[in-house]
Structures are given as C-alpha cells and as structure tokens.
C-alpha cells in the first residue's frame, strides 16, 4: 500500500484512492458535493467541533481528479468565487464624538461577541473605515468583538485561525511539523485590533488585551467546542512597535520571513513583521503537545535571555 499524495496533513494511499473510485461507482447520480459529503462520513473526517471537513474533502477529490487518480462527475454548476468578488462592508454610522479621559472614567467595559449577530456589519464597517489594513474576511474559525463603555464603542478585535507555519512560533512552542498540523486549531490569531481614532484614553489598548485573553478560550469553546491555549499576532515594525501588546505582557517571538506559506519561491513577497505571542494557560506547551527535546531547547534559550537581561 503506497502513498499517492499528502493533502492538508492527511496521507492518501492507493487503498484510499480505490475506496474513492468505488464510492463514485456506487453512487453514479451524486454531485461532486454529495460525494465529498459521503466520503467525509465514511472516513469520519470532521473538524474539532464535529462538523464534516466538506470543503477540504472537496479540494482533495478535485486534486485527485486533476492528477488522474479518480474521475469525478462533471460539475453541475459553475459558481463565481464569492471571496474574489466580495463587496466592501457597507458603511455604518457611529458616534465619533471625541472621547478623552482616564481609563477609570470609562467605567465598566462590556465585551460583545458579534460574529453571526446583527452587530457584525457594524464591526466590519468600523474595521474597513478606520483600520489601516481595512477589512478582510477572516479565515477558518473566527470571533469578532466590540467593546463598549456605556453605549460608546471604544475598541474592536477580530480573532481567527492561526498561521499555518511560523518558524519562530513553532520553535517557541516546541512543535514539530506533525504536531503543528494536529494542534494548530488550539491557537488563535489576533488579526485586527482597533481603538477608533476619536478615542484617546491612555493605557486602554493594553487593558483591553488583558481582559480579552481572559475570556477568549471560553468563548471559542462555546462556538467551536475546543479551547484555545495560545494566541499570536503580527505587527508591522515600520508602523508600530507593538507597545500595547508588550505592555500586556505579550512575548516577542521573532520575525516573519516576509512570505506566505504558499509562496512559490523563497523570495519575500510581503513586509517582514514582528511575531508576538501570549500563553493563555501555564501548561500551554504540554497541552499543545510540545516535544520534550524542543522544550528543553526553548527553556535554555529563555534562561539565557533572562541572564542577559539581568
């Protein structure tokens, strides 16, 4: 039984290909989508929240079809890619009266998780209008938050699935490639953080981050049925130094290489960014499946850094 391909961390053997061929032969009237659903069911191929990995399975079957290993039925309809033509979020008006003062003057702060709620368009509009990167649809698992002081919005944060591979992060966690593929869903990425420009409150950003990380895992588990043990973000050093993250005790893990995980060459194709991380629990490495030898290397490095600081 030889290996035919590896797709999204799953090894596909000749026996798997034979099974898919038989599945197609046994259901000649089914569409490509229905066949992928059947295959997910047969393989019990599900996400951590129990939902079928339907889109991944469809991608696998299409890749095998294009490589000549299987013969899929003709597509029944050709849909335009909704992501390629996604319209910019519509503008939603908010109170932009300048708000200056101390952190204490804001009173109790209230988080609202707005993903899949009527407030989500407001969140999208704020990010599109006032974040320097604008709004892009997060990928994979995701949560969106608005932070209120009374009826005023004072911050907005988006969280999504973590990066596929980050050399500095994986070394810090003690991850091998296999462990990363198995446990990456236990990390979250802070893809957007906005304090609107009319909000001028010292120390608000670091205070928000501190409150946010104390509730994120529970909210994630409620929606996706698994916890989060570690969070990460990127900072463009040409614009910011990540001061609010550092003040909230996030750790500088290193820098990116300036290329995405699907970059076809080793040449940089985007800005190099600082990578910062924050463990949500003390036993994060153990819970994330870190390899003992790698953990020892990290511990030695951290001890050396502490000695140099002292």
- Can you list the domains of the chain with their CATH numbers? 3-66 (no CATH), 110-309 (3.40.630.30)
pTM metric for this prediction:
0.74
Assigned token pair, 226: 């698994």
- For 147-194, what is each residue's pLDDT tens digit? 999 999 999 999 999 998 899 999 999 999 899 989 999 999 999 999
Helix locations, the chain, DSSP H: 14-26, 32-43, 54-66, 120-130, 167-173, 177-183, 204-213, 216-224, 243-247, 284-287, 292-309
Which letter does DSSP use for residue 140 in this model?
S
Low-confidence winner among 50-54, 93-97, 187-191 (lowest mean pLDDT): 50-54
Q: How many residues does the chain have?
A: 310
Q: How far apart are CA 29 and CA 26, in angstroms?
A: 9
């Amino acid at each position: 039984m030889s290996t035919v391909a590896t797709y999204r961390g799953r090894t596909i053997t000749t026996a798997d290909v034979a099974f898919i061929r038989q599945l197609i032969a046994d259901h000649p009237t089914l569409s490509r989508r229905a066949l992928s659903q059947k295959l997910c069911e047969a393989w019990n191929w599900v996400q951590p929240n129990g939902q079928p990995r339907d889109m991944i399975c469809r991608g696998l079957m299409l890749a095998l079809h294009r490589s000549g290993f299987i013969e899929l039925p003709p597509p029944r309809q050709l849909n335009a890619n909704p992501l390629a033509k996604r319209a910019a979020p519509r503008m939603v008006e908010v109170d932009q009266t300048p708000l200056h003062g101390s952190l204490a003057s804001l009173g109790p702060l209230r988080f609202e998780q707005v993903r899949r709620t009527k407030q989500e368009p407001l969140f999208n509009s704020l990010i599109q209008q006032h974040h320097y990167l604008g709004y892009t649809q997060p990928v994979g698992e995701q949560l969106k938050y608005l932070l209120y002081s009374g009826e005023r919005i004072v911050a907005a944060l988006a969280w999504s699935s973590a990066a596929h591979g980050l050399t500095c992060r994986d070394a810090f966690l003690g991850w091998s490639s296999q462990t990363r593929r198995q446990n990456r869903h236990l990390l979250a990425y802070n893809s957007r953080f906005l304090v609107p420009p009319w909000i001028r409150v010292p120390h608000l950003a670091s205070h928000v981050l501190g409150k946010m990380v104390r509730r994120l895992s529970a909210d994630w588990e409620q929606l996706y049925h698994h916890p989060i043990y570690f969070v990460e973000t990127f900072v463009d050093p040409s614009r910011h130094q990540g001061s609010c993250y550092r003040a909230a005790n996030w750790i500088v893990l290193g820098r990116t290489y300036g290329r995405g995980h699907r970059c076809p060459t080793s040449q940089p194709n985007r800005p190099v960014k600082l990578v910062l991380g924050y463990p949500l629990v003390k036993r994060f490495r153990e819970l994330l499946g870190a390899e003992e030898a790698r953990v020892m290397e990290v511990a030695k490095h951290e001890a050396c850094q502490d000695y140099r600081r002292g």
